[in-house]
Amino acid sequence: MKKVIGFLRSMKFGMILLVLVIACSVAGSLIVQQGEAMDYVRRYGADAAQLIMALGLDDVFSAPYFIVLMAALCLNLTLCSIVRLSRTIRAAAALRGQAHRASALEPLEEEQAKKLCAFFEKRHYRCEEKDGDRVYTKNMAGFYGSFLTHLSFLLILIIGAAAVMTADVRDQVVMPGETLTLEDGTMITVERFQIEDETGTLDYASVLTAASADGKRQKQQEIRVNEPLSFNGYKIYQQTYGTAGAVRIANLTNGIEEDMLLTESCFLTLDGRNGMFFQALYPGYVQAEDGSVMLVTSTSGAYEDPVYDVLSVSGGVTTPVLAFPDETLTIGDVSFTLLDPVSYPGLRIKHMHTEILGMLYATFVLIVAALYLCFFMVPVAVKVTESGYAVLSPKTQTGLMIELEALLKEEA
């Protein structure tokens, strides 16, 4: 049993777990999370998509193996912290005991001993007297640096997991030019969205403008799959995308026009009987030698040659029509002009609870303090008697020794 516990708290086991957790986190950062199956096929190809979903890489942070890894890492850090705390307490007590028992002393005269005592008191060393000897100690909190560092990592894991699990998550489609107002009044505007960059390379990116409810704070940023916008406690991710048809409807009798976006099948009519029924939008077509047309049903990029599949309904007669952008269908007193499709983003909006975020930030402060204790607060104990002195510390105290030698020479 001792061997098992020894392995579970060992640095080797901890490093293995840490490497595996980092590998999973990198995969989760590079691969779109919680997407649809066809989205993975479009992005990575059929074989890669099948492998991603088989390994659970489409939702890494909720996968059973990732949860087991995190639990094992927490166990490792907990055991390390317990062991290190007991060792730390013993090490601090041992340093004081070694100082009181020190026998190899640098010779001193009585006046020099008094001068050393005054020096340590001025530097705020803590003094302990025993059997007429004095032991001055300082930076004993430095013993706890390693323990607090392990404890900080443990708290970061636990509180970070709590922050992710309790976060409010919503997926929202926002058309370019539209503004989404969140519950606290924060406004998110999609300035523009692109599927491909200027060279035709796939590059799913949105330019967002976020503004606080009072309008005093504002931030604009281009976001991508793994480059979210952080604002006012929210993280906004580029989650998915889509392409909507667009049509301009004009009433020929009064000249009123209105533009509409078409994201699903619908019947556009003014009188309830005559109008245009939108069925689907296809990204392109292939024309055979005999003149027949075969529609392209899917694409991972922008719609290069979009085709509208609509029905013209007039006087009880329904006529199927394949139309292209800039074509106009006139049905009665209404004209329907089909426009270029509009690509739009699907945003994932996460909101962390303020209390948990505050605790997470506090753990970061704790780890900075712990590292400061480790590297800048080196424990030291100095025994001073009328006949001599000795300096003890886990690390070489070259600077202190030089100061003491200089002080003694002045006294001489």
> Where are the strands (E) in 117-213, listed by range?
126-130, 133-138, 168-173, 179-181, 187-196, 202-211
Report the range of poorest mean pLDDT among 84-93, 323-332, 335-344, 379-388.
84-93
- 3-state secondary structure at position 232: coil
Asked if the model's pLDDT at residue 158 lies above 60, the reply is yes
**Residue pLDDT, tens place only, 221-230:** 999 877 899 9
Query: What is the pLDDT, as a whole number, of residue 327?
Result: 95
For the residues 208-224, what does the mean pLDDT come to?
93
C-beta separation of 59 from 71 below 8 A: no
Identify the sign of the CA torsion 217, 223, 229, 234. positive
The token pair at 194 is: 């692109």
C-beta separation of 159 from 359 below 8 A: yes
> 313: left (phi > 0), else alpha (psi -120 to 50), else beta?
beta
Asked if the model's pLDDT at residue 348 lies above 60, the reply is yes
**Residue pLDDT, tens place only, 2-19:** 777 777 777 788 888 888
Query: What is the pLDDT, as a whole number, of residue 1?
Result: 67
**Residue pLDDT, tens place only, 233-286:** 899 998 888 999 999 999 998 989 999 999 999 999 988 899 999 999 999 988
Report the alpha-carbon distance of residue 331 to residue 269 in Å, rounded: 9
Is beta strand 202-211 parallel, antiparallel or unpaired with respect to 218-223? Answer: antiparallel
Confidence of residue 49 (pLDDT cuts 50, 70, 90): confident
Higher pLDDT, 184 or 45: 184
**Residue pLDDT, tens place only, 285-305:** 888 777 777 898 877 778 989
Distance of CA 52 to the CA centre of its chain: 21
Report the alpha-carbon distance of residue 247 to residue 224 in Å, rounded: 29
For the residues 175-188, what does the mean pLDDT come to?
93
The domain spans of the chain are 2-27+62-162+364-411, 31-61, 166-242+347-357, 243-340
CA angle 76, 18, 164 (to 5 degrees): 90
Q: How far is CA 322 from CA 260, 285, 298, in A?
A: 19, 11, 17
Distance of CA 64 to the CA centre of its chain: 20
As a dihedral over the C-alpha atoms of residue 284, residue 287, residue 288, residue 289, rounded to 10 degrees, the angle is -160
**Residue pLDDT, tens place only, 135-153:** 999 999 998 888 888 888 8
